[in-house]
Structure 1
């Protein structure tokens, strides 16, 4: 139930259509303090139009507003402040949640169109580090939010399974590798070889030439190069799938860079047909707008580049999925690459490029510095998750040793702590890696929200709650909980339109705080007359917390 829309409907009538509906929607604010009402309309923009002071305009508007939804309307300092009718609104919100349950907040704004989401995309033969966490959890959450918004998401894991680094790795394996050791611990052993290659190449730069030679062999289909590459890829995928399973993440496509090898010649042909290719220092480029450097399509030695591959991938995805939007959840450092990519597609005459969006994010820093695979300075995501689960289990053993599904709950809480720690931050911000902060079980953390859900579940069990229509007698103390519940559909809209899962995480913290405050001030189970009505509120909170956690890719334990 969107009472903001109702307020706008009233304003449209009162203002005789002087301002458009969309304009009015954007102008409505939430007052800073509760005693100033539930919504406010600022009249400053109308002062020029009516040639009156904002205060006198506010008074005139306030006098004309009459609706059972508003308990009180007042003009204060150029604002029209409205107080919602608590009983009426509470009834509507709770009845909506009771009837829709987990469907509450579902929007139809995506019109059931396809949105492709390119996320996670680790490099094979390299460990899945904490650096990959951000793209993985932001992308997964955006796919879930897109679905709630009314789109059909296609989750794509564009694996980094091609490029000069594989030439380097083949050289390193041939020089120092050991088959048994690689089979025993593939990712760690391959990382060791990769790091060793770069250490040796600093002393002996000719090694880099050898790496390039072997990558050229790989591109030309050399049998030995291909079989080593396929082996590295297979071992890596098995390791990655264990991690995705731990995080509860699935993909619709694992087409990596190599998949587009036979699709790049067509891109070059189209560019040639449209007279977009130019020669520059022996290489082939597409000239772009003045503020962008030329986009390199083919090197002087004839090898293709990331841009060629990404153009092939974009065209393939449009032809395969007919997407309305195509999202790339890739770090800030690739911003220029995507500007060039979208610009080339525009020059090629593909109008669908308008639906393509790069969703950048900040880095996870360690001691204020970027983590580097090349130098071996990585924190492995699998190890962090294992440690988080172990700490959650220790916490359970200490505080609730009688809990039946200890291991399952520890897994839900441990992985949830890691996911929430990332998603509560706005994605563009860098995050300092700190196990201590990530795994705190109080404060603004995942376990705090999960514990609030478990508390609600426990109250419903103790109160023997019956899920049926009730006369909803709402305590005054419940109003902050109602207003939080009411805002959920709007939060989903903002989260998708800003590609910002932190909107959901922040909402869950606010709802949890409001509910825990209510729990502390009202004895929910003591008054038999009011008990079922109060439990209806508890049930509604539980439904929305569970759904909000799901949209972040987290579980909601019934007991903790």
Structure 2
């Protein structure tokens, strides 16, 4: 990795002056973000990061002076051409021709693995992760809320897989529960088998709306309860109808996922754990955690004083399971089956209480791994709105970049206006830039960095692109730490803007052959990294618009 070689060289010199091991300094040396307004160095060391106590006010005031003194003890060499200082930092400028040669060679040599081989990841243990995402309720329309979980979970899975972790992508369907009692009664009253085959989600949604209007009727309530009870008892006819709902729904979901470029290793669901949830209830009872209320429902006391001031209901009065009971069974089964290091749930923020109760119960049951799962839950803000998926619509790629611009857990309001816009910082802009750079390669051919005269890449706009490519591993590392895609989105948008400027000021056509060859290599490297980042986000790069 280009940036690693430079960091090691800088760390080697710093270690002699600071009397610290080079490996202790590597992560304190960061690439400097490109600035439109002024020339910037390539790397910087924060003096505070190598000072034992940087919290005192007097020391904070003295950091700039310390930076100056440290800089005076360092020397330029074949790698570092300039050393300067900033507010509490020592800045390093890499030899410009070495910068161009090293970055271009590394990007084009590593290809799709550029950035992920960085020594920044050397201390990160490889893990086995089960990632649950999308998880729609069958017989319901695929809406923006499902889409958010789908693309966020897909990003996390893509990133972890790219970094060498073993990833199991799981779609845990909402395919069981009392709502299917109501839907089953509704289908018996208003259903049409032909419509179920041709347009299952739409027809089941219409049926559910119709029966829901009568949901307060005592007779309908009784019929729905009876239908679900028969499901739990595995009544053949009732189960057969439910299975049609499930199978037709999954077929339609798979078509949607294919359009999004998303796949799953496992399709699971609440129905898989109907029987195992009874085993969970037995375990809770054996451990003395299951209590019965006056109404006959089963609860687990989660209060600190054990006074039932906070509890979670895990069983209905008739003994049937609840959503949380099945989730408990699913979590235990996954850990037993996969022996994974972590399970990541990508969920709507409104489910926070549900998952808090889930993890608390698991810990009470003696499952210590529930603690790490609680840390790895990835909540996001949901916005319920139907989404007509179309592969020819610019909204498809804009939904990715629109969703990923800010923190996933921040308040979020979906906007079709933003999703459909084709100008500005959008997914379409990324696609357009990629297609434009690809076209340049088609016209002028792929260039090998070994044949390039890097002295032809010394213009400010060329240097800006090279500096930005140098930062890619840090951006990946940042995203790997907090599992937030916003770092990569911001990076790619900046890369696209820098490439667009360079495309105007550094023409290939009409330039001397040696200059044209060098510029082609630069644009080829930019397109390669742009494609890598887009794929992590779940956006398939296009070659023409």
TM-score by length of 2: 0.87
Query: Alpha carbons of 1:219 and 1:466: their partners in 2 closer, same or farther (altered >3 Å)?
Result: same
List alignment gaps of at least 5 residues for structure 2: none
Partner Cα separation in structure 1 for residue 76 and residue 105 of structure 2: 20
- How far apart, CA to CA, are the structure 2 residues paired with 1:541 and 1:19? 30
Structure 1 gaps of 5+ residues are 365-370, 372-377, 393-413
CA distance in 1, matches of 2:443, 2:113: 26
Alpha-carbon contact 2:33-2:471 (below 8 Å) kept: no
**Separation in structure 1 between the aligned mates of residue 264 and residue 132 of structure 2, nearest angstrom:** 10
- 1:57 is aligned, of 50, 66, 70, to 66
241-250 vs 81-90, which moves further: 81-90
Match of 2:274 in 1: 261
CA deviation profile, 1:417-447 (whole Å, cap 9, x unmatched) = 3333323343223443333321222211111
CA contact (8 A) 2:130 2:340 kept: yes
Residues 451, 500 of structure 1: CA spacing in aligned structure 2 closer, same or farther, 3 A cutoff? same
In structure 2, what is the equivalent of residue 217 of structure 1?
A: 230
Distance (whole Å) between structure 1 residues aligned to residue 536 and residue 525 of structure 2:
17
1:548 and 2:533 equivalent? Answer: yes
| Distance in 2, Cα, partners of 1:76 & 1:234 | 62
What are the superposed Cα offsets for residues 100-156 of structure 1, whole Å, 9 maximum, x if unpaired?
Answer: 111112246664431111011111111112221100111111111011122111010
Aligned counterpart for 1:475 among listed residues 451, 454, 458: 458
Counterpart of 1:374 in structure 2 is none
- The answer (yes or no) to whether the contact 2:28–2:45 under 8 Å persists in 1 is no
Q: Secondary structure at the match of 2:454?
A: coil
| Structure 2 CA distance for partners of 1:76 and 1:434, relative to 1, 3 Å | closer
Does structure 1 conserve the Cα–Cα contact (< 8 Å) formed by 2:83 and 2:90? yes
Counterpart among 511, 519, 523 of residue 503 in structure 2: 519
Measure, in 2, the Cα distance between the counterparts of 1:332 and 1:323. Answer: 24
How many angstroms apart in 2 are the aligned matches of 1:114 and 1:49?
44
Could you tell me how far apart the structure 2 residues matched to 1:263 and 1:217 are?
17
Q: Distance in 2 between matches of 1:46 and 1:499?
A: 28
- From the superposition, tell whether residues 288 and 132 of structure 1 become closer, same or farther in structure 2 (CA, over 3 Å): same
Could you tell me which of 449, 454, 468 is aligned with 2:435?
A: 454
- Look up the match of 1:181: 195
Closer, same or farther in 2 for the Cα pair 1:63/1:229, shift >3 Å? same
CA distance in 2, matches of 1:280, 1:168: 26
- Contact (CA 8 Å) 2:397, 2:428: kept in 1 or not? yes
Which of 318, 331, 337 lines up with 2:354 in the alignment?
A: 337
Deviation, structure 1 residue 159: 0.7
- Structure 1 range deviating more: 245-254 or 178-187: 178-187
Asked if the contact 1:111/1:150 (under 8 Å) is kept, the reply is no
Quick one: structure 1 residues 241 and 17, their matched pair in 2 at CA, closer, same or farther if it must change by over 3 Å? same
What is residue 424 of structure 2 aligned with on the other side? Answer: 443
Q: Give the equivalent residue in structure 1 for 2:110.
A: 100
In structure 2, distance between residues paired with 1:205 and 1:131: 32
Q: 1 CA distance for matches of 2:499 and 2:111? A: 18
8 Å contact from structure 2 (residues 12, 22) kept in 1:
no
Q: CA deviation at 1:451?
A: 1.2
Match of 2:369 in 1: 352
Structure 2 residue aligned with 1:70: 80
Structure 2: distance between partners of 1:276 and 1:23: 50
Matched, 1:285 2:296: no
User: Using the alignment, how far apart are the partners of 1:27 and 1:71 within structure 2?
Assistant: 17
Q: Does 1:85 align with 2:95?
A: yes
Query: What's the offset of the Cα at 1:232?
Result: 0.9
Distance across 2 between alignment mates of 1:323 and 1:140: 18
| Local SS of the residue matching 1:510 | helix
Aligned to 1:15: 18
3-state SS, counterpart of residue 173 of structure 2: coil
- Residues 149, 493 of structure 1: 8 Å contact kept: no
Q: What RMSD, in angstroms, separates the aligned Cα atoms of the two structures?
A: 2.9
Cα displacement string for residues 205-231 of structure 1 (whole angstroms, at most 9, x for unaligned residues): 653343233212211222332111111
Q: Kindly tell me the number of residue pairs found equivalent between the two proteins.
A: 521
Instruction: Give the secondary-structure state (helix, strand or coil) at the position aligned to 2:186.
Output: helix
Give the equivalent residue in structure 1 for 2:517: 532
Pair 246,18 (structure 1): closer, same or farther in 2 beyond 3 Å: closer
Distance 1:279 1:516, change over 3 A: same
Give the Cα–Cα distance (whole angstroms) in 2 for the partners of residues 278 and 11 of structure 1.
Answer: 63
**Does residue 494 in structure 1 map to residue 478 in structure 2?**
yes
Q: Which has the larger displacement, 207-216 or 28-37?
A: 28-37
Q: Give yes or no for contact 2:134–2:153 (8 Å, CA) kept in 1.
A: yes
Displacement of 1:65: 2.2
Identify which of 225, 234, 245 aligns with 1:232: 245
Secondary structure of 2:432 counterpart: helix
Q: Any idea what the Cα deviations from partners look like across 1:205-260, whole Å, max 9, x if unmatched?
A: 65334323321221122233211111111111111111111112111111111011
Aligned partner of residue 457 in structure 1, secondary structure = helix
Instruction: Classify the secondary structure of the residue corresponding to 2:433.
Output: helix
* Aligned partner of residue 35 in structure 1, secondary structure: coil
Q: 1:308 aligns with which of 297, 312, 325?
A: 325
For residues 87 and 16 of structure 1, the distance between their equivalents in structure 2, rounded to whole angstroms, comes to 30
**Alignment of 1:155 onto 2:164:** no
Deviation at 1:9, TM superposition (A): 5.3
Instruction: State the distance in 1 between where 2:22 and 2:302 align.
Output: 40
